[in-house]
Structure 1
Amino acid sequence: MIHLLRRFDWFATAGIAWVVAVCAGFILLASYTSTPGAVGDPAGRWPASSRVVPEPGRANLVMAVHPLCPCTRASIAELSRIAARCGDAVSVHVLFLRPDGVDQAWEESDLWTAAAAIPGTRVHVDRGGLDAARFGAATSGHVVLYDANGTLLYSGGITGSRGHEGDNRGREAVISFLTTGRAHQDCGPVFGCPLTAPPADSSGDS
């Protein structure tokens, strides 16, 4: 009988430990999902030193992307929705990081393919992340929106959490600026991988 009670106590303890571990895992995952990345200092005016040439007479939107960041798939999907809604009002540019010392075309991941498939979108190789830095982007998925006069309207992300698609304030702000000329907010958190992080490998993980 004592032996059976000890076995029961062991199983009960193991069960409690398993529940605690699972709960802790969910808490850590939720924390990671909702923790934004670093936000740089966005340029209030279109940086004259940028190699990206803005299209005159229209608003211009720039997104900085680490091509191996899985979180940015959601940002590209939201960018596609913005372009579909406001394509005539905005010229879209996507900067793909190419760190120093990597092979040519390293940046042409599935994210490159997805961005290039958005009608009217121009994709650019950002060697060394220089242009992203000029626009003040430090995290993959960071968007900056400038009006036709080159004045910053919005800086931040367009997803509500890391790797999550769906309605969110960042996307709403960008669409509102493009359709009405105003919005309730002009900045927001960015959920993605650091643009300065060295690539782990070329398999698509960041």
Structure 2
Amino acid sequence: MMSLVLSGTLLVLGFYFFEQYNFTPGDQVAAPERFPASVNSTFLDKQVPTLLVFAHPKCTCTQATLAELEKLKSKLGAQVAVKVFISYDPQDAFEGQAIEKQARTIANVEVEKDLNRKVAKTFGALTSGQTMLYAPEGNLLFQGGITDSRGHQGDNPGAQQIARIVTGPFIKSAFARTPTFGCHL
């Protein structure tokens, strides 16, 4: 009987810590309020808002982020330009092929390899799944994630905020922020 109680207690504690981890956001610092001049200027679309997505190929949460990105892009279509930056260390190149392939299947999304996290560092992206939406003029409109927890697919505040900003009355000074759930870049 005692081992049954102990087993049950360990199971409950394990579930508690697993759920606590799933709902603990990754590190996030403030993204640049203006699109950095040091970044390739072709990354910022001058006609529609640009959504940047930073991903790590070894993070299991990245698949959920890309699935949510695909839904968001299909909803917004040409109203938003999307660039996915896959952070690589030279030794990660082979392991990142599956994530890169998944990202490239999303219609009208540009995928860039971010060797040694150069672009991610410029934008202050620390967590896989971190997204930033910039206005055509270069003002930051949104920063955060597009999943509701680690590896979770489904409705979430980040994707809803991005859709509202892109499809609603365009307010240059609007800014929204949500947590990002994923592994460290």
- TM-score interval w.r.t. the shorter chain? over 0.9
2:151 maps to: 163
Q: Which of 144, 152, 177 lines up with 1:187 in the alignment?
A: 177
User: What are structure 2's unaligned runs of at least 5 residues?
Assistant: none
Query: Which amino acid counterpart does residue 120 of structure 1 have in structure 2?
Result: N
Instruction: Find out whether 1:94 has 2:71 as its counterpart.
Output: no
Query: Which string of whole-angstrom CA distances, capped at 9 and with x for unpartnered residues, describes residues 71-110 of structure 1?
Result: 11111111111100112111100001111x426x436432
2:15 maps to: 26
Q: Which of 82, 85, 108 lines up with 1:120 in the alignment?
A: 108
Q: Which of 125, 128, 143 lines up with 1:140 in the alignment?
A: 128
Corresponding residue SS for 1:62: strand
Q: Distance in 2 between matches of 1:185 and 1:155?
A: 8
Change (3 A) 1:59 1:185: closer
Greater C-alpha Rg: 1
Instruction: Find out whether 1:72 has 2:62 as its counterpart.
Output: yes
1:111 maps to: 99
Give, in angstroms, the shift of residue 148 of structure 1: 1.2
Q: Distance in 1 between matches of 2:30 and 2:157?
A: 20
4+ aligned runs moved over 4 Å, structure 1: none
Tell me the number of residue pairs that the alignment of Structure 1 and Structure 2 aligns: 182
Answer whether contact 1:139 1:190 (CA < 8 A) is retained.
yes
2:27 maps to: 38
Higher mean Cα deviation, 161-170 or 53-62? 53-62
Change (3 A) 1:94 1:107: farther
Query: Which amino acid counterpart does residue 32 of structure 2 have in structure 1?
Result: A
Q: Distance in 1 between matches of 2:72 and 2:34?
A: 22
User: What are structure 1's unaligned runs of at least 5 residues?
Assistant: 1-11, 196-206
Instruction: Find out whether 1:53 has 2:43 as its counterpart.
Output: yes
Taking every aligned residue pair, what percent have the same amino acid on both sides?
34
Answer whether contact 1:68 1:109 (CA < 8 A) is retained.
no
Instruction: Find out whether 1:13 has 2:2 as its counterpart.
Output: yes
Answer whether contact 1:96 1:107 (CA < 8 A) is retained.
no
Answer whether contact 2:58 2:96 (CA < 8 A) is retained.
no
Change (3 A) 1:21 1:155: same
Aligned-residue CA RMSD in angstroms? 1.7
